[in-house]
Amino acid sequence: MNQHPAHKPDYEKELRRAGVRITRPRKIILRILTETDDHPDAMEIFQRATIIDPSISLSTVYRTMKLLEEMGAIHRHAFEGGRARFEQADGEHHDHLIDMDTGDVIEFHSDRIEKLQEEIARSLGYDIVHHRLELYGRKRRKT
């Protein structure tokens, strides 16, 4: 379903290597994360997981997200409104355009913007560790 032939990260291997146990909940959550193309929040992940195994708890979802984030396997986004949303950290860096009507998240990338950010930070005497660029908009009205 995904056109990118890219890296299919083997998280279970990574986890093992980090000395972390491969448990049933973790397996399920990882599968959900690798199979989705969107940016689900913890509750969404929890609900999808519940379908597979109704005994999973929301706490475990949160704990697993934190674990994966610390391992660098996922990114956490704090878009406007409520909950944090997550996505796999494989693939290229990109920023997000959020459709204010539907909540859809569209990914984009601009080398020129990235460059300009670097220049600005440098001119202010800083090194960028990370950044956040979010565009909030609506579908153009066809007049």
**Contact pick of 78, 83, 91, 103 for its own copies (by CB under 8 A):** 78
Q: Which stretch binds Zn ion (CB under 5 A): 31-39, 43-51, 93-101, 121-129?
A: 93-101
Q: Does 12 bind Zn ion (CB under 5 A)?
A: no
| Residue 118 · residue 128 · CB < 8 Å | yes
Q: Is 39 left (phi over 0), alpha (psi -120 to 50) or beta?
A: beta
For the chain, the C-alpha Rg in angstroms (whole number) is 17
User: Which two three-digit tokens encode residue 143?
Assistant: 């007049």
Task: Report how far residue 56's alpha carbon sits from residue 91's, in angstroms, rounded to the nearest whole number.
Answer: 29
Residues 85-104 that bind Mn ion (CB under 5 A): 87
Query: For the window 15-54, what string marks contact with DNA as x by the rule CB under 7 A?
Result: -x---xxxxxxx--------------xxx---------x-
Q: Which of 8, 35, 59, 70 binds DNA (CB under 7 A)?
A: 59
